[in-house]
Structure 1
């Protein structure tokens, strides 16, 4: 081991230490002093040991370095670097290339030196975020209440149109009837009457010759309104046909034709109450042996 190592002396603090040939080969002859951190060529400052005299003891290296020695070492290291131009500062890549060519330290040392020199030579640009302020013009603020009022009026108009054009159905519901009764006292609402002839049934249909008039017949009907509300009396469509189903005679009678207006309200047929109706018609003859009754919506 003694033949593969040399003794070199730091030119800054004159500290001597032993370096192996393997270490010199890896670092291309460049070493760092453990006392003052100075980088120098170990071969140039190699110390030849004297044969007669014992080798002087090496100075003990400690982790603590005096401030003036560290400053001197850093100043010597900056001699190998180009001077920074205030107008055209060197780029970090150029600084790193110069340091590697002059000293050729290890990768870890290169990183530390590049960070130190870059921070001192290249100025940094600081960007501060400013709060964004959104301003609305006075015209937008002044029009916002009118926009709200317009939306409210439009909604009221739509609701009013719905209540008016659907009054025929909504009036007969318990929820809207008080509203319509109040409004219709001041305006003519003309609420259409609900007509549901499917809920009106005929419980009796009897045809017999008239007791006083020749060639006449009498028809007796019993109608019942099975709906849950009053509705107008239906129109009666009576048709006669022969044995082959061919029509012989027919007639449609409106409520005012078979009811007395002074006694009965034509638009209010009571619910679940039998209504007896008697009709006097001309006889269809001997051919009209088949008959049919159809309940239709009245022409109000």
Structure 2
């Protein structure tokens, strides 16, 4: 075992061997300031370099698998987080993965909501028709077209009735449940890609002087 001693004059530390102490009756000369002193008075034991290297190598061998395990778990966690937060986009872009995603969500207690890209859905052929047989009743007809190549969630229609000066008189948000009533479609079925829905609604306006309207797709 090697020993470490410290020069009391210049405080320099250096390694000595036990046999060196035996041959000089414990006296050593500092290589820095040439001061001679009794090494035993300022000595401390240290591990042999070989022992230190073996211990360091053993610690490295133990720590490497742990590092790889932690790294692997971190990668898996990142993958699962990406799948969770991007599950809607993944199901949209790669429909073949949707059954697997749904099975995973059933286990995790989550769901896969349908995409909601309002900019890809348009209102066409919209019109207001006053019902001459029923006072205070008008008919709102329009065609909703999903221009996306993928299925989407059915949107709502924000309808604003205006007077002849384009001042808003009444604003309503028409839900899918309302405009799909009577059709062979349910809101949960989703709005198929490149599909269209004919909307026909009766609206009560009482005595409001309705002269126009504005209609927008919203989610």
TM-score (norm 2): 0.65
Once superposed, which parts of structure 1, at least 4 consecutive aligned residues long, lie more than 4 Å away? none
Residues in 2 aligned to 1:150 and 1:165: alpha-carbon distance in whole angstroms: 22
Unaligned runs of 5+ in 1: 1-131
Of the three residues 128, 135, 138, the one matched with 2:53 is 135
Q: Residues 232-270 of structure 1, C-alpha deviation per residue, up to 9 Å, x if partnerless?
A: 222111112223332222211111122228831214112
Change (3 A) 1:142 1:206: closer
**Are the equivalent residues in 2 in contact too, given 1:238–1:251 (CA < 8 A)?**
yes
Q: Verify: 1:294 aligned to 2:219, yes or no.
A: no
Aligned residues: 166
Picking from 144, 160, 174, the partner of 2:80 is 160
Aligned equivalent of 1:195: 116
State whether residues 240 and 284 of structure 1, in contact with CA within 8 Å, keep that contact through their aligned partners in structure 2.
Answer: no
Alignment match of 2:203 (pick from 277, 281, 287): 281
Q: In the alignment, what sits opposite 1:270?
A: 192
Pick closer, same or farther for the CA change 1:148–1:272 going to 2, 3 Å. closer
Give the aligned partner of residue 221 of structure 1: 142
Matched, 1:251 2:169: no
Give the distance between the partners of 1:286 and 1:198, measured in 2 at CA.
31
The 3-state SS of whatever aligns with 1:191 is coil
Residues 212, 188 of structure 1: alpha-carbon distance in 2 compared, 3 angstrom cutoff:
farther
- Indicate if the aligned counterparts of 2:122 and 2:147 stay in contact, CA closer than 8 A: yes
Residues 137-171 of structure 1, C-alpha deviation per residue, up to 9 Å, x if partnerless? 12332232222222211221222222212223223
More helix by share: 2
Structure of higher CA gyration radius = 1
Q: Is the 8 A contact 1:240 1:249 kept in 2?
A: yes
1: CA distance, partners of 2:165 / 2:100: 56
Distance 2:103 2:93 in 1: 15
Compared CA separation, residues 257 and 135, structure 1 to 2 (3 A): same
Separation of aligned partners in 1, 2:194 and 2:93: 20
Gaps of 5+ in 2: 1-48
The answer for the alignment partner of 1:18 in structure 2 is none
Give the TM-score normalised by the residue count of structure 1. 0.49
The answer to whether the 8 A contact 1:249-1:284 is kept is no
Higher strand share: 2
Distance 1:154 1:209 in 2: 63
Coordinate RMSD, CA, aligned: 2.7
